[in-house]
Amino acid sequence: MFGCLVAGRLVQAAPQQVAEDKFVFDLPDYENINHVVVFMLGTIPFPDGMGGSVYFCYPDQSGMAVWQLLGFVTNEKPSAIFKISGLKSGKGSQHPFGAMNLPQTPTVAQIGISVELLENLAQQTPVASAAVSSVDSFTEFTQKMLDNFYNFASSFAVTQAQMTPNPSEAFIPANVVLKWYENFQRRLTQNPLFWET
């Protein structure tokens, strides 16, 4: 019914069923995982009015299981990608896996899926840092590069009185760099792929 994917690893399509309505995937070497994708295989849909809450579980320093709600999958939203790299030091939340003694190994985390009523899913609040940024990595890189360039160029700004005449150097007014920076930011916000045209 469910699959789990971590970049650079094989797809897991056979979760361990730990209860009639609960499934678990093991994530070995979880400390090197940034994102995880949970999806429905398309073979068995959820029963009407049901969906699956998705949890991340990792062992804390004392070896106890810490569960955090990531989000959910439903027949209408059959897949989701979650960022788990920042969750390894957060606090746990309420979860339906509490009474189960799932084995915990120091280097193995788990993704748990609990089949629940859609009304219950709507009332749950996932960990905010599990949501994947809507800004793609190229846009994020470009924004950080712009900021870095502007800050670097601004650090050399001098007033006209401080300038030492040197016929072999060209000077660019700081307001020209600022205008370019603001225009580039505006265009990037409007269309992250504007530079391709």
> Residue 104: its pLDDT value, please?
57
Residue extents of the structural domains in the chain: 2-123, 134-190
**Residue 191 vs residues 124, 133, 134, 169, 196: alpha-carbon distances, Å:** 34, 17, 14, 35, 10
Walking along the chain (197 residues) 10 residues at a time, the average pLDDT comes out as 91 91 91 90 92 89 82 92 75 56 68 93 79 62 81 83 83 84 83 72
Residue whose pair of structure tokens reads 């060209």 in the numeric block = 170
Contact between residue 147 and residue 154 where contact means Cβ atoms under 8 Å apart: no
> Residue 114: its pLDDT value, please?
94
> Residue 148: its pLDDT value, please?
84
